Amino acid sequence: MSVSPSSDTSSSSASSSSSASPSTRPLRLAVIVGSVREGRFGPVVARWFAERVQDHGAFTADVVDLADGPLPLRLPPVPPAVDPDMPRPDGMADLTRRLREADAFVVLTPEYNRSFPASLKAAIDWHFTEWQAKPIGFVGYSGGTGGVLAIEQLKQVFGELHAHTVRNYVSFPRYYLLFDEEGNLKQPEEPAGAAKVMLDELAWWADALTAARSERPYAG
């Protein structure tokens, strides 16, 4: 099997998009393009995934490309966990606003040396409350592992930020064999199914956590 949807049949018990509460729909989903590498493949994955979000219907997708703004490694003395409004570089305001406005996230991550790219870690570390009490899903792509090692490490990091990472994910091992030269999947059904299962789970959590955050401030 060339593409590895993460779910087994038990995952199909997750709420479908049509059965969840419509009160908070459409939910705002920030789809984060984690790679900023020259010649990167990330935008191809982003285009494919944004179409899956549109097909699913529970979310409006905001594709947030980390290559569009500054992500300096040098952080200010007071971290965002202590000062959520800490001074940030001028060019980062748009990223911060879009993360803050999101009800849920899907992080598109390649794998670099068995982990996720430094660009993603910088984007994560510059923020704190923006991730808090929100659900996060993942699409991984790389060589043999399909990004699953990066995804596992991201789950650990996001736990520290009081985010909820969902179980289901999408993985493209040896992605270069799976997409054609126009950036279309040669066999789209299975990854589309995996994306739907993940989005179903993400929508359930986004509904629940959006309602909870609107009722009272997160107490973490």
Ligand X SMILES: Cc1cc2nc3c(=O)[nH]c(=O)nc-3n(C[C@H](O)[C@H](O)[C@H](O)COP(=O)(O)O)c2cc1C
Residues that bind ligand X (CB under 6 A): 35, 37, 40-42, 110-114, 142-145
Q: How far is the CB of 2 from ligand X (least distance, A)?
A: 14
Q: Contact at 8 Å (CB) between 148 and 114? A: no
Q: How far is the CB of 110 from ligand X (least distance, A)?
A: 3
Q: How far is CA 134 from CA 28, 64, 95, 129, 141, in A?
A: 11, 16, 16, 10, 23
What gap in Å lies between CA 27 and CA 19, rounded to an integer? 14
What gap in Å lies between CA 200 and CA 196, rounded to an integer? 6
Between 7 and 142, whose beta carbon lies closer to ligand X? 142
Between 11 and 115, whose beta carbon lies closer to ligand X? 115
Between 5 and 135, whose beta carbon lies closer to ligand X? 5
Q: Please, what sign has the CA dihedral across residues 84, 85, 91, 96?
A: positive
Between 77 and 144, whose beta carbon lies closer to ligand X? 144
Between 41 and 131, whose beta carbon lies closer to ligand X? 41
Q: Contact at 8 Å (CB) between 216 and 28? A: no
Q: How far is the CB of 41 from ligand X (least distance, A)?
A: 4
Helix (H) or strand (E) holding 196: helix 189-215
Q: How far is the CB of 126 from ligand X (least distance, A)?
A: 20
Cβ neighbors of 122 (< 8 A, separation 6 or more) are 71, 72, 73
Q: Contact at 8 Å (CB) between 148 and 171? A: yes
Q: How far is the CB of 144 from ligand X (least distance, A)?
A: 5
Q: In this structure, what DSSP letter does residue 102 have?
A: -
